[in-house]
């Protein structure tokens, strides 16, 4: 058996570095690549046999952890490792709480990347050493993450499509379900997120899409 990976990152040089790390793992087979979020989504939707996805948090088409939520809704069983330069404890903890199977800093060595991937392939959780994940101090974000965790995979996909601005008819076509089913999903999503409208739901999702801003100076 050989592993099939997807690398989703908009920087070709970094994709190359990740490929080099993956080729150092025994049984590495096919490595798919995506340079933007739409391509990553299409590849995940088309390949339910992926063994692992390496996801950059900042790519054209998405921002921050909202991309992770979206991809988790497509094939929940596919492990995703977030690979990011934003490697503060807060971002790492939130990524894991939202379903990531691991986190690798973009400053990690080849050996560390390889070890992280092997840990997840073995069924573990990969976390950078020396990071204190502590607890969530932002009560609003903590509440939002718990609400997002309560969504089913299909409800998560519907929420992500709402964020893309798709109409019920378009969502029904994408999911191959009836509009009535989509309406039921939308109602359930709004109820679980404790909001009254699609717009409010999208605004709520965007709160985890904002990446930490560099300090002024």
pLDDT band of 13, cuts 50, 70, 90:
very high
pLDDT band of 214, cuts 50, 70, 90:
very low
Residue 139 or residue 185, greater confidence? 185
Q: Find all residues with CB under 8 Å of 158, minimum gap 6, and list them.
A: 171, 175, 182, 185, 186, 189
Q: What is the pTM of this model?
A: 0.85
Give the mean pLDDT of 48-61.
89
pLDDT at 21 over 80: yes
pLDDT at 38 over 50: yes
Residue 113 or residue 61, greater confidence? 113
Q: What is the CATH number of domain 139-206?
A: 1.10.10.10
Quickly list DSSP for 138-206: -HHHHHHHHHHHTS-HHHHHHHHHHHTT--HHHHHHHHTS-HHHHHHHHHHHHHHHT-SSHHHHHHHHH
Q: Read off the pLDDT of residues 80-98 as tens digits, 9 standing for 90 and up.
A: 999 988 888 888 999 999 9
- Is the Cβ–Cβ distance between 95 and 65 less than 8 Å? yes
Backbone region of residue 60 per phi and psi (left: phi > 0; alpha: psi in -120 to 50; beta: other values): beta
Please report the pLDDT score of residue 46 as a whole number: 92
Q: Read off the pLDDT of residues 145-154 as tens digits, 9 standing for 90 and up.
A: 999 999 999 9
Separation CA 147–CA 70 (nearest Å): 15
The fold of 3-121 is Rossmann fold (3.40.50)
Lookup: tokens for 7: 């690398």
pLDDT at 141 over 70: yes
Boundaries of every domain in the chain = 3-121, 139-206
Please report the pLDDT score of residue 163 as a whole number: 87
pLDDT band of 213, cuts 50, 70, 90:
very low
Q: What is the rounded end-to-end Cα distance, in angstroms, of the chain?
A: 52
- What is the SS3 assignment for 27? coil
Q: Read off the pLDDT of residues 93-127 as tens digits, 9 standing for 90 and up.
A: 999 999 999 999 999 999 999 999 999 999 999 99
Residue 135 or residue 183, greater confidence? 183
pLDDT at 48 over 90: no
């Amino acid at each position: 058996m050989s592993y099939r990976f997807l690398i989703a990152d908009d920087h070709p040089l970094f994709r190359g570095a990740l490929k080099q790390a993956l080729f150092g793992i025994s049984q590495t087979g096919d490595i798919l690549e995506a340079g933007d979020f739409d391509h990553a989504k299409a590849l995940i939707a088309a390949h339910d046999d992926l063994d692992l996805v390496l996801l950059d948090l900042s790519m054209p088409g998405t921002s921050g952890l909202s991309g992770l939520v979206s991809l988790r809704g497509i094939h929940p069983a596919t492990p995703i490792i977030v690979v990011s330069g934003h490697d503060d404890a807060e971002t790492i903890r939130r990524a894991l709480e939202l379903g990531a199977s691991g986190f690798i800093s973009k400053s990690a060595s080849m050996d560390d990347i390889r070890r992280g991937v092997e840990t997840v392939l073995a069924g573990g959780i990969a976390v950078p050493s020396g990071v204190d994940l502590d607890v969530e101090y932002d009560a609003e974000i903590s509440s939002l993450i718990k609400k997002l965790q309560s969504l089913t995979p299909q409800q998560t996909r519907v929420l992500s499509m709402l964020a893309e601005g798709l109409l019920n008819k378009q969502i029904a076509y994408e999911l191959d379900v009836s509009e009535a089913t989509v309406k039921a999903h939308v109602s359930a999503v709004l109820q679980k997120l404790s909001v009254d409208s699609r717009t409010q739901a999208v605004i709520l999702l965007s709160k985890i899409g904002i990446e930490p801003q560099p300090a002024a100076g």
